[in-house]
């Protein structure tokens, strides 16, 4: 009996010792405050910078959209767009450089953990970037995260389709549409027989649902 009791006591002592080693040390109030201050300072700077960049991005686009609603000929419209392109080059280029610098010191997971709004603003900046190699790098980062459901599948689909079109290739997920022969429809898209699977892999709505949404959003289009 004594041997059994001693053995049980030894096992209990061993368990308590192991538990003590694995249990996290409780931080003092001052340590918690210092940790909070460090996290806030790092996140505050990144969130503030991204918010500022996003503000410039959206202001530029709101101004040009307002101008485009003015009555003008197609020739004048073309001259206007060409004449203001340097502002897009300047603002989008500067935003890209600053965002790349942030992502050199912070992973996407860390950035997106700041706030959902900050992550969405950063994605908008990426989607408007003139640096296509940067966009390709971000697609490679987003793709496994989207498959796992950690980021919206639109992050992959929108960037991948824009890059494909920029390269002169058919798009992959069918996100870019245009008025073609008087019908609002997707621009050339690869392997339409398997588009539903590709979209499902990114946790996107079905292509049929997306098509209905697009046609409802943009309505009829006049023949050109």
Tens-place pLDDT, residues 103-146: 999 999 999 999 999 999 999 999 999 999 999 999 999 999 99
Whether the predicted pLDDT of 151 surpasses 70: yes
Phi, psi of 178 (to 5 degrees): -155, 165
Sign of CA dihedral 138, 162, 165, 90: negative
Question: How is residue 191 written in tokens?
Answer: 């392997």
Cα separation, 148 vs 153, whole angstroms: 10
Q: In this predicted model, what pLDDT tens digit does every residue of 77-100 receive, in sequence order?
A: 888 889 999 999 999 999 999 999
Cα dihedral 112/118/123/129 (nearest 10): -130
Which of 207, 219, 103, 199 shows the shortest CA–CA distance to 152? Answer: 199
Question: Stretch 31-60: mean pLDDT, rounded?
Answer: 87
Q: In this predicted model, what pLDDT tens digit does every residue of 180-218 receive, in sequence order?
A: 777 888 999 999 999 999 999 999 999 999 999 888 877
Judge residue 156's burial from the number of C-beta atoms within 10 Å of its C-beta, 0-12 exposed, 13-18 middle, 19 or more buried. Answer: buried
Place of tokens 């339409």: 192
Phi, psi of 207 (to 5 degrees): -65, -35
- Stretch (H or E) spanning 179: strand 177-180
Instruction: Tell me the pLDDT of the chain averaged across its residues.
Output: 87
To the nearest whole percent, how much of the chain has pLDDT over 70? Answer: 88
């Amino acid at each position: 009996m004594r041997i059994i009791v001693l053995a049980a006591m030894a096992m209990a002592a061993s368990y308590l010792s192991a538990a003590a080693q694995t249990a996290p040390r409780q931080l003092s109030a001052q340590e918690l405050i210092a940790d909070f201050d460090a996290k806030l300072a790092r996140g505050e700077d990144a969130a503030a910078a991204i918010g500022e960049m996003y503000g410039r991005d959206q202001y530029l686009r709101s101004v040009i959209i307002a101008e485009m609603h003015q009555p003008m000929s197609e020739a004048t419209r073309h001259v206007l767009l060409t004449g203001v392109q340097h502002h897009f080059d300047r603002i989008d280029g500067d935003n890209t450089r600053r965002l790349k610098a942030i992502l050199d010191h912070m992973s996407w997971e860390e950035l997106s953990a700041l706030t959902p709004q900050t992550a969405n603003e950063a994605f908008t900046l990426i989607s408007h970037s003139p640096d296509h190699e940067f966009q390709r790098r971000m697609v490679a980062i987003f793709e496994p995260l989207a498959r796992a459901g950690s980021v919206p599948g639109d992050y992959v689909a929108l960037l991948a389709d824009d890059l494909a079109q920029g390269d002169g290739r058919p798009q992959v997920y069918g996100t870019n549409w245009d008025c073609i022969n008087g019908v609002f429809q997707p621009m050339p898209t690869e392997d339409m027989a398997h588009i539903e699977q590709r979209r499902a892999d990114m946790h996107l709505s079905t292509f049929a649902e997306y098509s209905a949404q697009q046609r409802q959003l943009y309505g009829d289009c006049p023949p050109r």
